[in-house]
């Protein structure tokens, strides 16, 4: 165990965790919503520091990030736990592990790997970045932060794949070391956020603005869950928010839903709905709209120039072909808003 960085002592031996917008009040001997931050006699401890439950080398496009180090590989890692309870979670076996069984042994939450060893793995495999992903990195911020600091010393980039529910306190300590993020904007409805995820919409919107204000590269992903985000108004609100509050150049990834976890009774997202969302993004004036997770159907995955419409990066099954000129359109030389180093 490692003492948590962000918490306050309150009444008696209760503590208030400050890592995410859940701001859990945790009684002695209990854990927060994430299931891995525990109050032990008035002190808050992380149960997953240095305990990796998933570790892989992935194409960076799988995060998905299409404009940050395109074509590279990233060392991806996660610990158990999550501050959301998404009914559609595709990684529920690890994200909900400590919630489904409150008696899960502290020692049985992953393989012990030091921050130094993670850096060694990244250097050995020549991955220019490390991604904190699969579960929510906010809940293992102590571990992530130690790795991130070492990564920057070795010129390795740090990427958070996040639900966007990190607290301002967490953002403040990771900000100097965070190079890019992919943020899920799951709905534009507080009702559905509470119903499906056990969270609220506004903190995610606030954090997207915070990333933009601090000039940290980010891309947004929206999963189209039938009966939840197949309302045209929600999609229009998302695209308007991206354009007016963030930037028309912010990449928006539209992902098709497949039945999983506690949403096995729903149908997969139809091609019609994906195309509808794509057209809404295009009509709003977003420069980079992508679609994915569509079996046997051609997705909109290529990066085209917003000025002349020429294809500059071709993508197929995480394989890419670069046609651009060092981040600029090969035809008209407009910037393609790529981060190449």
Instruction: Cite the DSSP H helix spans in 227-294.
Output: 232-241, 271-284
pLDDT at 155 over 80: yes
pLDDT at 104 over 70: no
Other Cβ atoms within 10 Å of 10 Cβ, number: 12
Average pLDDT along the chain: 94
Each residue's pLDDT tens digit, 209-233: 999 999 999 999 999 999 898 678 9
Each residue's pLDDT tens digit, 39-88: 999 999 999 999 999 999 999 999 999 999 999 999 999 999 999 999 99
Distance of CA 21 to the CA centre of its chain: 15
**Model confidence at 1, in pLDDT bands (50, 70, 90)?**
confident
pLDDT at 101: 55
CA proximity to 290, closest of 268, 263, 311: 311
In angstroms, the Cα distances linking 94 to 84, 85, 234, 311 are 12, 12, 30, 38
- Residue 267 DSSP class: P
Each residue's pLDDT tens digit, 183-201: 999 999 999 999 999 999 9
Percent of the residues in the chain that have a pLDDT greater than 90, as a whole number: 89
Every domain of the chain with CATH number 3.20.20.70 lies at 51-322
pLDDT at 294: 83
SS (H, E, C) 64-121: CCCCECCCCEEEEEECCCCCCCCCCCCCHHHHCHHHHCCCCCHHHCCEECCHHHHHHH
Mean pLDDT value of segment 170-185: 98
CA atoms within 13 A on the CB side of 58: 18
Question: What share of residues in the chain are helix, strand, coil (percent, to 5)?
Answer: 30, 25, 45
CATH annotation of 51-322: 3.20.20.70
Residues ≥6 apart with Cβ < 8 Å to 19: 4, 5, 6, 7, 37, 83, 138, 139, 141, 166, 167, 169, 170
Each residue's pLDDT tens digit, 246-299: 999 999 999 999 999 999 999 999 999 999 999 999 999 999 999 998 876 678
- Taking CB atoms within 8 Å and a gap of at least 24, the contacts of 193-200 are 196/86, 196/87, 196/88, 196/225, 196/228, 197/84, 197/85, 197/86, 197/87, 197/163, 198/33, 198/84, 198/85, 199/21, 199/22, 199/83, 199/84, 199/163, 199/165, 200/21
Each residue's pLDDT tens digit, 138-152: 999 999 999 999 999
pLDDT at 26: 96
Residues ≥6 apart with Cβ < 8 Å to 170: 6, 18, 19, 20, 138, 141
């Amino acid at each position: 165990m490692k003492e948590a960085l962000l918490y306050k002592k309150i009444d008696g031996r209760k503590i208030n965790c400050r890592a995410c917008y859940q701001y859990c009040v945790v009684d002695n001997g209990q854990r927060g919503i994430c299931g891995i931050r525990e109050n032990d006699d008035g002190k808050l401890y992380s149960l997953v520091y240095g305990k990796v439950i998933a570790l892989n080398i992935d194409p960076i496009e799988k995060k998905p990030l299409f404009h940050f180090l395109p074509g590279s590989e990233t060392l991806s890692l996660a610990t158990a736990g999550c501050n959301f309870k998404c009914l559609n979670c595709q990684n529920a076996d690890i994200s909900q592990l400590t919630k489904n069984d409150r008696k899960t042994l502290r020692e049985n939450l992953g393989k012990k790997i030091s921050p130094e060893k993670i850096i060694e793995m990244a250097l050995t495999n020549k991955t220019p970045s490390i991604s904190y992903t699969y579960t929510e990195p906010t809940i293992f911020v102590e571990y992530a932060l130690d790795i991130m600091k070492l990564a920057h010393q070795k010129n390795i980039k740090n990427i958070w794949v996040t639900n966007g529910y990190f607290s301002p306190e967490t953002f403040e300590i990771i900000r100097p070391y965070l190079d890019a993020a992919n943020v899920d904007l799951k709905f534009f409805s507080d009702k559905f956020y509470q119903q499906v995820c056990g969270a609220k919409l506004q903190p995610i919107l606030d954090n997207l603005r915070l990333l933009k204000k601090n000039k940290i590269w980010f891309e947004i992903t929206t999963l189209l869950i039938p009966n939840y985000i197949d309302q045209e108004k929600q999609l229009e609100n998302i695209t308007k928010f991206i354009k007016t509050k963030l930037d028309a150049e912010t990449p928006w990834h539209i992902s098709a839903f497949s039945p999983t976890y506690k949403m096995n009774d729903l149908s997969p997202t139809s091609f019609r709905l994906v195309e509808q969302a794509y057209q809404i993004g295009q009509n709003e004036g977003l420069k980079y709209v992508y679609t994915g997770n569509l079996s046997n159907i051609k997705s909109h995955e290529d990066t085209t120039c917003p000025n002349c419409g020429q294809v500059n990066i071709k993508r197929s099954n995480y394989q890419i072909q670069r046609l651009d000129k060092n981040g600029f359109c090969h035809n008209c030389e407009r910037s393609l808003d790529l981060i190449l180093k």
